[in-house]
């Protein structure tokens, strides 16, 4: 037996699986009766916790969440479609008229500029994702369970 014993974290890891321990801790556990007993205690505790019934709330969680959700679903953005349709038409007409010239221009585009465009696009997408996540967190904070 060595002078140290396993930490609580190592004891709990060993209770889950002895394969989770590093070699020195596993070697100690093989030789130390005290640590083996503590691991056995954790295993009994984990098994008992696994047998506990699922917690039941004293209130209807589903009804509480549904009561706080917006009642109306967002309207379809028809105005945005009315704006987008002419824009798409103008872009389509532009491509039809100057498509050949554009293809030549993009073939001569240096790779550095292309890489820059990819990086900027990545930043824009990442920014949108962060904004979406922040909005989701704000909305989740507004929910209160009573």
Q: Report in angstroms how near the CB of residue 52 gets to Zn ion at its nearest.
A: 29
Structural contact between residues 143 and 68, judged by C-beta atoms closer than 8 angstroms = yes
Q: Enumerate residues 6+ apart whose C-beta is below 8 A from 35.
A: 5, 6, 11, 14, 28, 29
* Nearest Cα residue to 32 out of 69, 5, 60, 63: 5
* Minimum gap (Å) between residue 32 Cβ and Zn ion: 3
Q: Which two tokens stand for residue 57?
A: 């709330």
Q: How far apart are CA 132 and CA 76, in angstroms?
A: 19
26 vs 32 by CB, closer to Zn ion: 32
Residue nearest to Zn ion (CB): 32
Interface segment toward Zn ion; rule CB under 5 A; list 30-38, 59-67, 99-107, 118-126: 30-38
Closest contact distance (angstroms) between CB of 25 and Zn ion is 9
Number of residues binding to Zn ion, judged by CB under 5 A? 4
> Which residues within the stretch 31-50 sit at the binding site for Zn ion (CB under 5 A)?
32, 34-35
> Where along the sequence are the contacts to Zn ion (CB under 5 A)?
5, 32, 34-35
């Amino acid at each position: 037996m060595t002078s140290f014993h396993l930490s609580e974290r190592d004891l709990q890891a060993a209770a889950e699986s002895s394969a989770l321990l590093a070699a020195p801790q596993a070697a100690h556990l093989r030789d130390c009766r005290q640590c083996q007993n503590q691991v056995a205690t954790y295993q009994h505790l984990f098994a008992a916790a696994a047998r506990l019934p699922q917690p039941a709330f004293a209130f209807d969680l589903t009804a509480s969440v549904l009561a706080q959700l917006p009642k109306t679903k967002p309207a379809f953005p028809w105005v945005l479609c009315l704006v987008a349709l002419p824009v798409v038409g103008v872009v389509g007409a532009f491509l039809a008229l100057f498509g050949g010239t554009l293809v030549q221009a993009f073939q001569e585009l240096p790779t550095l500029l292309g890489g820059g465009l990819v990086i900027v696009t990545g930043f824009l997408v990442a920014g949108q994702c962060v904004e979406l996540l922040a909005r989701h967190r704000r909305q989740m904070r507004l929910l209160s369970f009573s």
